[in-house]
Amino acid sequence: MDANSIRYRPRQSGDARIVVIPSAARYLDQMERCHQLAYGYAPGGGDDEDMTAEKYARHLDIFPEGQFIALDVLTDMVIGVTTSMRVNLPSDRHFLGNWVQVTGGG
């Protein structure tokens, strides 16, 4: 499935102001800013867990069908973002790592 080929189709009533759609490269900077606002990171703060536009771009390269944004269609502004991943871990191994450890740096 190519998630980026999916286009938002308005509801028949046409009253949807906020939609959830697949993430796209044109929203990377807004996705970064949304994450910073949600988690209290300062722009360019260099925290390992800060999701940057570059990290989101890499997510789109690796697993595009698992990345979504909430978009205000009137302003074309990202107001929510998901960060999804798929991981294969041995079923006999209990792993509790943080995001940076699990993803190899984000």
Local confidence band at 71 (pLDDT 50, 70, 90 cut-offs): very high
Q: Is the pLDDT of residue 17 over 60?
A: yes
Provide mean pLDDT across the span 70-79: 94
The DSSP element (H or E) to which 98 belongs, if any, is: none
**Is there a contact between 45 and 35 (Cβ–Cβ < 8 Å)?**
no
Listed ranges 8-17, 66-75, 77-86; the one with the highest mean pLDDT: 66-75
Residue with more model confidence, 43 or 68: 68
Domain presence at residue 62: yes
56-65 as b/e, with b when 16 or more CB fall inside 10 Å?
beebbeeebe
**Residue span of the structural domain in which 98 resides:** 17-103
Amino acid at 103: T
- Binning the chain into helix, strand and coil, the percentages to the nearest 5 are 35, 15, 50
User: Quick one: CA torsion of 4, 58, 35, 33, rounded to 10 degrees?
Assistant: -80
Instruction: Give, in order, the Cα–Cα distances in Å from 46 to each of 17, 42, 54, 62.
Output: 34, 8, 13, 23
pLDDT digits (tens, 9 = 90+) for 18-46: 888 999 999 999 999 999 898 887 776 66
Domain presence at residue 6: no
Domain presence at residue 81: yes
Domain presence at residue 5: no
As for how many domains the chain has, the answer is 1
Q: Is the pLDDT of residue 4 over 70?
A: no
Three-state DSSP class for residue 85: coil
Q: What is the pTM of this model?
A: 0.71
pLDDT of residue 12: 44
